Each structure stands twice: as structure tokens, then as C-alpha cells.
Amino acid sequence: MYKLMDQYLKNDTFSIQKNIVDHSEYTLARSRFRFDDFEAYQATAYSVRDRLIERWNDTHSLMREKDPKRIYYLSMEFLMGRSLLNSIVNIGVKGQYADALKQLGFDLEILVEQERDAALGNGGLGRLAACFLDSLATLDYPAWGYGLRYEYGMFRQTIQDGFQLEHPDYWLNFGNPWEIQRVHTTYPVKFYGHVDEIQENNKKTYIWTPGETVEAVAYDNPIPGYGTKNTINLRLWAAKPSGELELDSFSTGDYVNAVLSKQRAETISSILYPDDRTYQGKELRLKQQVFLVSASLQDVVRRYKDFHSDFAAFPQKVAFQLNDTHPIIGVAELMRILLDEEKLDWVKSWEITTKVFSFTNHAILPEALEKWPLELLENLLPRHLQIIYRINFYFMEEMKKKFGDDLVRLSRLSIIEEGEKKNVRMANLALVSCHTVNGVSKSHFEFIKSSLFKDFHDMWPHKFQCKTNGVTQRRWMACSNPDLSQLITKWLGTEAWLKELDLLLGLRLHANDYNLQEQWMKVRRSNKSRLAAYIQIISGAKVNVDAMFDVQIKRIHEYKRQFLNVIGIIHRYDCIKNMTAEDRKKVVPRVCILGGKAPPGYENAKRIIKLIHAVGDKLNNDPDVGDLLKLIFIPDYNVSMAELVIPASDISQHLSTAGSEACGTGNMKFAMNGCLIVGTKDGSNVEIQEELGSENMFLFGPSAEDIPELRTEQKDFQPVLEFRRVVGMIRKGVFGNAEYFQPLCDTIDGAGDDYYLLGHDFPSYLEAQAAVDKAFVDKKRWAEMSILSTAGCGQFSTDRTIREYAEEIWNVEPLRHS
């Protein structure tokens, strides 16, 4: 029988080479036989894209044939990183590409490094979206991601004199071979203007005349699954010049200024906001949210209408997952489309809307909950605000019946926050309109039920679900740690763990086997050498590969307590200084590695970065210390840097004050690569411990439920001498910059609040670190712990997470290609 697959590009060495060379000549217009590493990367990427497009098209045909229920993942952030290696690993042609390139005189590993990261996200939330896409594709779900094609991704960080500098990340500078522009897939997105109420045969209709219209154009990014033909789509929207001028700007006669102001409107999608976890209330940010949501909904509605003549089946065909409340304005937008454009009545529209949306909450701090000033909405989205008012009106009516005179409760529930300046509470809108809200770890789930959204949970407990985050083992093991992955496959006798991570459990059988231990530690050591070479390039420092690599990489935040890590390092330094030569011989040598970006306006986070550098300068150059302790800051931490650092880490630190990290996903990446975890009893640290056993981790400090009381006791709390001594050293200027560090020191010993409880947790932190030193010396036991760490990580694949979403929230089935 004729099969589509027969027409596919062939994957033998010669076919791949021909394809690459052709792209070099015909796509890049370079000579067939003279191109440099960067051009070779581009030509290779185009040849891989050809293969992705074949699969993408087949997937698309299958979808059109079967018309299954589809999942649309709406997110302001997709932190994708690089695509080349991930794509060839997923479609199973890495070996062939490596060979083909080698014969052409290129090294795949070097070409891979030519690619710029697609850094369209801040951190955990955006990277989770990227891991989700990989799992959705791999598990054959009919899914699409929708996001924004920012021209400037997450800022590039450099360090000058120890201070963070931010540079624009114009990542599209040299083109992006992965994307496909869809010049004909465009939608108008409307802003401002006014709404007219018209009486039309006994029915009120609303006509919104916008003051500004911006055109959204689609860019498609194929996402291949692993071990399947299923290739899903990440559709990113860019604002584009529409060629039309608004009439009133025309009539001013100022043509040039009219064009210029239009051009400003078209910068909507140009830049990612780099502040994670704090909303800023900026109009441009709200416009971005509307832009994403409106273009995506128009696209989904158009696709649905290709197959259906009315909206009755919409909830059976469509599921929208909202990544936090950022896209929640979509509720009002869908209502607007159904009411004003499709002419459905309110009841029908509301019934449909409330069946298709579900949202994930990622926040702990109530301050992180988005609120938009009413004035802003009124001006920017007059029709949406009317709809939100009406949603709130019906909701409040229902609540009054329930709670009657409990006005305090009613005002907490209301979507509109009353007060001098009124706000729209986006989380309340989400809870009223979504059929499900989920937390991202067990502890976070408990927290949203009992505290953050308690009022809503009291009413609608059935809406609440827990979906513990995960990470994809394809990128975080197979791509970034190929040698360890091969070793695992060899010992398990199968590579099925790449699709069924639970199979890692099989390693437990061999954790004690001397041969595995030796091979395991050898791979880890060669990963450490790779990192050491990189460290030497960026800092000139020569680090000892046999020292313990102690890593903390993540966004810089007070709650994540990089400061606690630094205080611990200073304490260690101080101890070494005060030791006899004899005692120094017993010290376990450490290379402390930190990396991460501070939000540009967050002064204390920036002070922490400066402190790390100041302390590093001091101890790295102290002959008394030598190899016993080094402190390295890796600038511009991003996905690709994580892929280098994680496989080379002996321990990693996850120190958030208990009850402050919603989940945390970095810890999972480390643990599955055999890196041991030093952490607090917070977020997913606790769940990882349940799987690995406490004997294979170093958890310390109080549990989340103890924190409120500890905070009230702060007034009478006196930290231990060692802690005060370190803070004293910083204050006295041992690391220079005494004045600059003062506000930071004030947060922990100022008016006695120490909100994140560094002083309180310090002694137990030191105990955990002492236990780490002791364990590291016992090489055999360490190797066993490392293997057991990997073996216990089966739960932390996004494959598990996505299956849970699919079965318990979206109610969708996989659609497998034959």
C-alpha cells in the first residue's frame, strides 16, 4: 500500500548531507562547499526543519480527518532554549546527523552551540510551558501552544565590577530557521474606542468601535514528539503593520505622525517583561495579554467553524489551559465573540465559556495576584469591562442568596475590588469562570485551598485540583547528559525510560553495584571537566574537578535565599581562615557556583549579585584558602547554561523559606541527573524526598505550617553567634561596599523582622551542609545516593503531569498516528 511515509526525506548519511548542502546553497545562498560553523548550523537546522514539516503536515491532516478535542495551552511565556539537538533527538536521527556532519568536516556539538536560546520566558513558569509542549507531542495529544513572538527575549546579563547589567536580547538578529511565517494567518486585535448600545428587534446589541486596531500575524514553530510522528505546533503572534490608517488620524492631515503612532502600536509584541512574580500594572503588558488571547481565540473559533455550523459542540472540541491568570481576559474575549459576533445569548455564551477554560495558579504571595486598575480596562477594553461587570453582577447575585449579609465575604469574593482606586481582580474572574483551577505541587495545592483561594474553595471544592509539575527527560537527560543516559539505557537494558520515566526504578537493583558506581562517577566527572573548562574561559579560574561542585542556579529572589547560601560560604571561609594547617587538610574542597538574573528593578536581588562577587573576589584570591573553597558566579544563566551545569553538579541548593516556592522544577532536573539536593521542606523538595527517601537528600529547617508562628516570634529572636559574626563582617566592609550592602543586612537584622527567616534557619542549614561534607568523603556511599536519586525520579516527568491534566482536567484522548 502507498504510505505517506514513503515520500519522507531519507535519513541515510548521504541524503542528510545532500539536504544540508542544498540548504547552504539555495536557502542561505552560500557556496555548496564553503560555509562556516554558523552557516553549517543554519543549513542543518533548515534540513531538520524539512523533516519536522513533513511530520507537522501529517499530524495536521490526521487532525483534520479525525477532528478530535484539542488542547490549547495559552501562555505569555515559552522558555524554549535551543531546538537543534532536541529536534534530532526526538525524531531519532542524532547519530545520522552527527555522522553526516562529520564527513562534511563539522562537529555536531559545535554546531549546536551556534544557536541562540529562544528565551521567551522568565523562569519556571515559562520553562514548564516548554516541557509541557514536549510531553504533549510525545504522548500524541492533539495540542497547540499559543504565545507571543517577542523580538526581545529575556535580557542578557553581564557583570561589571560585580554589578548586573541588562542588555536587550535581540535574538532574531541572525534569523530564526525554526519558524514559519504564515502571512495569510492574521487577525485584527482591537483596543480603546467606545461601545454603542443598539435596540434591535427587542434585543440590545452592543457595537464596539475601536480606537486602535493592530494586526496579529502567526509564526509557527513545529514541536516534534519523541518516538512518534506527532508534531505539534507552537503558534506565536507578532504585531505587524496593517497598512491601514485610522480615519481620525488621517483627518488631522499629519500623515507622517499618523504612521509613526501606528508604528508604536505595533511594538506590542516586541519585548518580554522581565519581572517574574510581580505584575506591574502597565498598560503595554495588558495589551500584550489581550493581543495573545484575542488572536488565539479568533484562530480557534475559525478552525472550529471549519467543521461545525453552530457552537453546541464547542466544549467537546476545545480545551483552553491558562498559564496563570495572564491570559484570563480570554474569558471576556470569548464572551464578546459569542455574544457580539456570533449573536448567541448570554446564557448560552456563558455556558460554553465556563466549560472550556481552566487555569493554573503558580503564585504564593497574594501580592503576585494580578489586578488591573478599572480605569485602565475602561479605557483600553470598554466592551470587555461591560462583560466583566455583568459576570460579576450575576455572580454577586448568586452569592447574596448564599451569604446574605456577610458583606465582608461578599467584598472578598467580588471580581471588582472597591476602594479609592478600583481594580479588577483577575484571579477572582478566573475562579468564577474556569471549571478547574490547579496548584502545582501538593503543598501549593494545600495552600491555595486553605488560604489563597479559601473563599472559593469553601463554595466550589470540586473546582480544585493538584497537578505537581515535572520536567521533560528528553531535554534534561537525553540531550543534556547523553553519556549518563547511555549508561542508564545500558544498565536497564532498554531506552523505554525516555517515554516511561518510572522505569528508572530499575536502577535501584544496581545502586550498590561497584561497576555501575564506577561508570556512573566517571561520567559525572567528565561532565564536571566540561564545566570546569567553561569556568576557566569565563573567569580564568582553574577549579579542581575533584572538589565538590555545589550549585545554586535560578532567578535571584529574596525568598529563594541565595543570601543564605552566601552567608554559609562566608562562614566556611571564616572557619578555614581560623584553622590550623592540620585541620585544613580535613576540609572537603568545594567549588560554589551561583547563577541567575535579578529582576531589573529589584534592588536587593541586585545587591545579592554584587555580594556574591565581592565575596568571590576575596576568597578566590586568598592563599590561605587555595583549592578548599572557590566561589564562581556564572553570568547570563539561561536554559543552555542549565544544560551544561546541571549534569556537572554534585549538590544543588533549593533554599526557599518553607511555604514560599509554589513548586520548583530545577530541583527535579538536578535530582534526575544524580545530583544530591540540599533544600528546605518547601514545594517539590518535599515530594522529591517522598520518592527518594530522606537518606538520599539533605532537607533541613521548619515545615511550611511552622512558619507563621516563627514569624511572630521574630521580635524576640536572637540568631546564633556565627550568623551575627558573618553579618558583622559584611557590615564592617570585609568585602568592601559596606554601605551598598547595608539595606541587605537590614533585611535580616534590622528591625528584627527577617521575613524570610535566614537567621532562624541558619543552624540547621549548617548541619545539613556538615552532613553533605561527611557524605561526600564516602565515595561509595555517595555514588549509591547519586544513583538512587536518579532512580527515584520517575514521578517528575512532565509526561506524568500531562497525563493527569489530559485525563482529569481536559478530558482529551491521545490521537496516535498509525
Q: Sheet harboring 423-425: ordered strands across?
A: 371-373, 423-425, 416-417
- Rg of the chain over all Cα atoms, to the nearest angstrom: 28
334 belongs to the binding site for ligand Z2T (CB under 6 A): no
Give the orientation angle of helix 562-577 with respect to helix 721-732, to 10 degrees.
90
528 assigned to active site:
no
Would you state the cell numbers that stand for residue 706, as one nine-digit string?
Answer: 511552622
Report, in this order, helix, strand and coil percent for the chain, each rounded to 5.
55, 20, 30
- Least distance in angstroms from the C-beta of 657 to ligand Z2T: 13
687 belongs to the binding site for ligand Z2T (CB under 6 A): no
Would you state the cell numbers that stand for residue 410, as one nine-digit string?
Answer: 461578599
Closest CA to 223 of 119, 145, 112: 145
542 assigned to active site:
no
Using the rule CB under 6 A, which residue among 117, 151, 324, 799 binds ligand Z2T? Answer: 324
363 belongs to the binding site for ligand Z2T (CB under 6 A): yes
Comparing CB distances to ligand Z2T, the nearer of 594 and 668 is 668
Using the rule CB under 6 A, which residue among 547, 619, 662, 802 binds ligand Z2T? Answer: 662
Question: HSE-up of 47 (CA within 13 Å, CB side)?
Answer: 31
- Least distance in angstroms from the C-beta of 686 to ligand Z2T: 13
Fill in the amino acid letter for 532: A
Would you state the cell numbers that stand for residue 80, as one nine-digit string?
Answer: 524554549
Using the rule CB under 6 A, which residue among 135, 289, 469, 552 binds ligand Z2T? Answer: 469
- Least distance in angstroms from the C-beta of 801 to ligand Z2T: 10
Which residues are CB-neighbours of 168 under 8 A, at least 6 positions away? 152, 155, 156, 271
321 belongs to the binding site for ligand Z2T (CB under 6 A): no
362 assigned to active site:
yes
Which residue is catalytic, options 138, 231, 665, 801?
665
DSSP string, 466-514: E----B-HIIIIIIT-HHHHHHHHHHHT-SGGGT-GGGGGGGGGGTT-H
- Least distance in angstroms from the C-beta of 456 to ligand Z2T: 18
From 121-129, 161-169, 596-604, 798-806, span contacting ligand Z2T (CB under 6 A):
121-129
Q: Are the beta carbons of 51 and 9 closer than 8 angstroms?
A: yes
Comparing CB distances to ligand Z2T, the nearer of 219 and 279 is 279
Using the rule CB under 6 A, which residue among 81, 124, 599, 759 binds ligand Z2T? Answer: 124
Residues 635-654 that bind ligand Z2T (CB under 6 A): none
Comparing CB distances to ligand Z2T, the nearer of 440 and 593 is 440
From 124-132, 453-461, 500-508, 770-778, span contacting ligand Z2T (CB under 6 A):
124-132
525 assigned to active site:
no
Identify the helix (H) or strand (E) that includes residue 240: strand 231-240
Strands (E), 432-574: 436-439, 464-466, 548-553
Comparing CB distances to ligand Z2T, the nearer of 363 and 678 is 363
- Least distance in angstroms from the C-beta of 550 to ligand Z2T: 21
- Counting beta carbons within 10 angstroms of the beta carbon of residue 27, is it exposed (0 to 12), middle (13 to 18) or buried (19 or more)? middle
3-state secondary structure of 416: strand
560 assigned to active site:
yes
Q: What angle do CA 132, 134, 138 make, to 5 degrees?
A: 115
Closest CA to 357 of 287, 295, 288, 297: 297
691 belongs to the binding site for ligand Z2T (CB under 6 A): no
125 belongs to the binding site for ligand Z2T (CB under 6 A): yes
From 379-387, 641-649, 659-667, 687-695, span contacting ligand Z2T (CB under 6 A):
659-667
Residues 203-262 that bind ligand Z2T (CB under 6 A): none
State the Cα–Cα distance between residues 87 and 94, nearest whole angstrom: 9
State the Cα–Cα distance between residues 457 and 436, nearest whole angstrom: 11
- Least distance in angstroms from the C-beta of 129 to ligand Z2T: 9
Q: Are the beta carbons of 679 and 658 closer than 8 angstroms?
A: no
Question: HSE-up of 249 (CA within 13 Å, CB side)?
Answer: 14
Which residue is catalytic, options 555, 557, 572, 606?
555
Binding mask 424-443 for ligand Z2T (x = CB under 6 A): ----------------x---
Comparing CB distances to ligand Z2T, the nearer of 120 and 730 is 120
Using the rule CB under 6 A, which residue among 120, 128, 553, 651 binds ligand Z2T? Answer: 128
Fill in the amino acid letter for 67: D
Q: Are the beta carbons of 632 and 531 closer than 8 angstroms?
A: no
Binding mask 710-749 for ligand Z2T (x = CB under 6 A): ----------------------------------------
Closest CA to 381 of 191, 207, 205, 197: 191
Identify the helix (H) or strand (E) that includes residue 128: helix 124-138
Which residue is catalytic, options 371, 669, 681, 760?
669
Which residue is catalytic, options 49, 457, 560, 607?
560
What's the gap between Cα 686 and its chain centre?
20
- Least distance in angstroms from the C-beta of 656 to ligand Z2T: 8
Comparing CB distances to ligand Z2T, the nearer of 426 and 730 is 426
- Counting beta carbons within 10 angstroms of the beta carbon of residue 72, is it exposed (0 to 12), middle (13 to 18) or buried (19 or more)? buried
Closest residue to bound ligand Z2T by CB: 124
661 belongs to the binding site for ligand Z2T (CB under 6 A): yes
Q: Are the beta carbons of 43 and 106 closer than 8 angstroms?
A: no
Which residue is catalytic, options 30, 55, 457, 554?
554
State the Cα–Cα distance between residues 460 and 451, nearest whole angstrom: 14
Binding mask 273-302 for ligand Z2T (x = CB under 6 A): ---xx-------------------------
Comparing CB distances to ligand Z2T, the nearer of 664 and 674 is 664
Using the rule CB under 6 A, which residue among 632, 663, 688, 806 binds ligand Z2T? Answer: 663
Size of site (CB under 6 A) for ligand Z2T: 19
679 belongs to the binding site for ligand Z2T (CB under 6 A): no
Q: Residues in the site for ligand Z2T, rule: CB under 6 A?
A: 122-125, 128, 276-277, 324, 362-363, 368, 440, 469, 661-665, 683
Q: Which residues are catalytic?
A: 362, 554-555, 560, 665, 669
